[in-house]
Amino acid sequence: MFLSSKGIFAHVYAGELTEIVKRFNSRFNQNDDSNNKRVVQSQNDILQLIIERDELGRTPLDIAGYLGFKNIALYLVTKTGTPQDVIHQEINVDD
């Protein structure tokens, strides 16, 4: 049984790729790069969605893989960017 309903977890559990895409698009509007600081913050917000963990320490990618939602898993992997992008992200991780 999956306990978390925060973040994108509820959509991952339900296999709702469209809702996950909407959630990411609301965090990052690729058409608006007029403010570089805002773009960097949006990228941080997206990375936070990907690395957040539920009560049992699982990430959205963990759940998608476990449930066999290949399209969701692939989408989440593509949102992490290149390895170099991920390395240079400033992440606020609370234990």
What residue spans define the domains of the chain?
A: 9-87
**Hey, what amino acid is at 32?**
D
Distances (CA, A) of 47 to 1, 14, 15, 79: 25, 21, 20, 8
pTM score, two decimals?
A: 0.66
Tens digit of each residue's pLDDT (9 = 90 or more) over 35-85: 666 666 667 777 788 888 888 888 898 899 999 999 998 888 888 766 666
- Please state, as a whole number, how many other Cβ atoms lie within 10 Å of the Cβ of residue 86: 13
Q: What's the CA gap between 67 and 89, in Å, rounded?
A: 28
Q: What's the CA gap between 71 and 64, in Å, rounded?
A: 9
The answer to whether 12 and 20 are in contact (CB under 8 A) is yes
